[in-house]
Structure 1
């Protein structure tokens, strides 16, 4: 504490000492020149009192004035650059220690620097996102436009060409609707506008529904959809059944899309802790390189820019999965070894009894 006080009031102490020495020397000189020898002892007592009083007076005046000066000037700097709110400034004692003030300013400057860097990252992400959206929408738009213009140029008279081109244009419109619908869902999830209808259901049944839905898609690459074991008893969880169905389906679609021909997509359901289960979707596909894993759940991010587009999809599947799980206050995990395979897993709240509960 003494060291802190000494450091805090160093300027005022030194200044007071200098003024006291100079003024004391001047008064001493006057006393020496004009004092009467008989009263010298009284004069020296007066001089001692003067020196002490002068030192204390100077110290308090200088300390007060410097504090006010620093407070007003530095406070104005803080206000101008919006580094510090006035309320938090009043919470700390004001001292004449410029090193302390410098540290405070540096601390807030570092905070602002970090904020600026974050904004730059977001700006980069925004530009990349806009570029991705433009690319995803441009392809089907130009496709639809090309077929329609061809028909308008005279191909509409040929019945066979007309039907084929209209069917292809319809597929392009369907892809546009798919992208816009997924974007709308992500936006609603982010702003909390998409309500979840909680109910108790059998997660094994949900996985089986996804198996049936994706059976033909998997068959094209001869990929086997299977459980890790036979689940004879239902495993009841509490969540939004429709959204969890979408999560399971999206993860399995992703597994099939990047899976190797003649491969396997395996689903397992395990108890994690007392009131949680974890659902794992594992494949023996091409895997994901480590540098790509942190960006997997970004909108439109694709590990293989060319190959993945041939597989179709909006490029929003994993992003939707992430947002749905966050809306449930649950976690989504990914582990992958390049060239060996990947595993996506997510947690769900376990329920003991099948009991419909609706919450919005």
Structure 2
């Protein structure tokens, strides 16, 4: 807030004028009725009365407003009282009203923002506890069963230990992904920027997941032939992680005998856009705005059956934003989805 309100004498000028005119007229009637008074005396009386009224009103109104405005700020804690004493509180009520209105609007926005954050915090803590609870209880159940006597059965022991190991592995994924997101948010995760061929990188990711895609008979393909390399400037390992997450999601939620298609297009002079398109189940519009939140799942039950930490898309978003780039999503429910992100083209 500004230190001083705009100086204004309008109220004092008008009020003093009204008082002076009334007093002078009343006095002139009385004096002319009983005494013959020179007009010059009336003019002097008018000026003296006006100046006296102006100074008294201006000073008293300033003090009157100052005391009450200071109390308002003290009570509402909108501004420290020490800062208001440095300024001059005048009769300019319009400036005062504008300042208080502005503070009221700011407070309302702040309260609404805090409510949204509190809601997000509750959901996040609930999601974290659920994601950690599931593998923990699974591991605990298998270990307790082994301790209760199943350890003597060699086949059962091996099967339960393998399942417990998978639960521990999932816990490791969740903790690792949470650690990565935290580092990305606070800027502690440094990026190793280099020049590489994005087409070659996509081919490598295709090879990583071709067996996973084959289980659902999903075809991993480019939209066209790319005979020439397309060089971009980014962190190769992190962009590989982005592509891996997006392709795994397209396989996970893709339909049997479906297609996951990758394309690389020139966006502007120094940018390319990478698109990952599938013809899977798609996403309803109500979920799109929250899709990149940590642990947010479109299908609360089905998605957990598919596994994963629930942090994949959030990591993707943070990695892309760490490159100062943008990520987009478009989807038609029942038709398919397209995730796309921009990268800087190497010169």
Pair in the same fold by TM > 0.5: yes
- Say which of 132, 138, 142 aligns to 1:147: 142
Once the two structures are TM-superposed, the CA of residue 162 in structure 1 deviates from its matched residue by 0.7
Once the two structures are TM-superposed, the CA of residue 150 in structure 1 deviates from its matched residue by 0.4
The 5 Å alignment of 1:229-240 reads 229-240=224-235
Distance 1:28 1:57 in 2: 18
Deviations 1:172-202 (A, max 9, x none): 0000000010001001101111111111111
Once the two structures are TM-superposed, the CA of residue 213 in structure 1 deviates from its matched residue by 1.0
- Say which of 169, 182, 191 aligns to 1:174: 169
Is 1:341 paired with 2:326?
no
Is 1:329 paired with 2:305?
no
RMSD between aligned residues: 2.4
Q: Report SS of the residue matched to 1:239.
A: strand
- Say which of 25, 38, 48 aligns to 1:53: 48
Once the two structures are TM-superposed, the CA of residue 147 in structure 1 deviates from its matched residue by 0.3
Kept in 2: contact 1:133–1:300 (CA 8 A): yes
Once the two structures are TM-superposed, the CA of residue 13 in structure 1 deviates from its matched residue by 3.5
Q: Unaligned stretches of 5+ in structure 1?
A: 1-7, 353-360
Once the two structures are TM-superposed, the CA of residue 343 in structure 1 deviates from its matched residue by 0.5
Once the two structures are TM-superposed, the CA of residue 95 in structure 1 deviates from its matched residue by 4.5
Once the two structures are TM-superposed, the CA of residue 58 in structure 1 deviates from its matched residue by 1.6
1:313 is matched with 308
Q: Per the alignment, do residues 342 and 157 of structure 1 end up closer, same or farther by CA in structure 2, a change over 3 Å counting?
A: same
Distance 1:192 1:78 in 2: 38
The 5 Å alignment of 1:207-356 reads 207-352=202-347
Q: Unaligned stretches of 5+ in structure 2?
A: 1-7
Kept in 2: contact 1:84–1:108 (CA 8 A): no
TM-score for both structures, normalised by structure 1: 0.88
2:4 is matched with none
1:24 is matched with 24
Distance 1:77 1:124 in 2: 31
1:161 is matched with 156
Distance 2:258 2:152 in 1: 46
Once the two structures are TM-superposed, the CA of residue 71 in structure 1 deviates from its matched residue by 3.8
Q: Report SS of the residue matched to 1:54.
A: helix
1:3 is matched with none
Once the two structures are TM-superposed, the CA of residue 20 in structure 1 deviates from its matched residue by 2.1
Once the two structures are TM-superposed, the CA of residue 149 in structure 1 deviates from its matched residue by 0.4
Once the two structures are TM-superposed, the CA of residue 14 in structure 1 deviates from its matched residue by 4.4
Is 1:105 paired with 2:129?
no
1:11 is matched with 11
Distance 2:15 2:44 in 1: 19
2:190 is matched with 195
User: What is the total number of aligned residue pairs between the two structures?
Assistant: 340
Larger CA deviation: 113-122 vs 58-67: 58-67
Kept in 2: contact 1:296–1:302 (CA 8 A): yes
Once the two structures are TM-superposed, the CA of residue 59 in structure 1 deviates from its matched residue by 1.9
The 5 Å alignment of 1:51-90 reads 51-78=46-73, 80-84=75-79
Once the two structures are TM-superposed, the CA of residue 219 in structure 1 deviates from its matched residue by 1.2
Q: Report SS of the residue matched to 2:257.
A: coil
TM-score for both structures, normalised by structure 2: 0.91
Q: Per the alignment, do residues 54 and 117 of structure 1 end up closer, same or farther by CA in structure 2, a change over 3 Å counting?
A: same
Distance 2:40 2:142 in 1: 110
Deviations 1:258-285 (A, max 9, x none): 1111100000001111111100000011
Q: Report SS of the residue matched to 1:271.
A: strand
Q: Report SS of the residue matched to 1:260.
A: coil
Once the two structures are TM-superposed, the CA of residue 230 in structure 1 deviates from its matched residue by 1.3
Q: Per the alignment, do residues 329 and 160 of structure 1 end up closer, same or farther by CA in structure 2, a change over 3 Å counting?
A: same
Q: Per the alignment, do residues 88 and 34 of structure 1 end up closer, same or farther by CA in structure 2, a change over 3 Å counting?
A: same
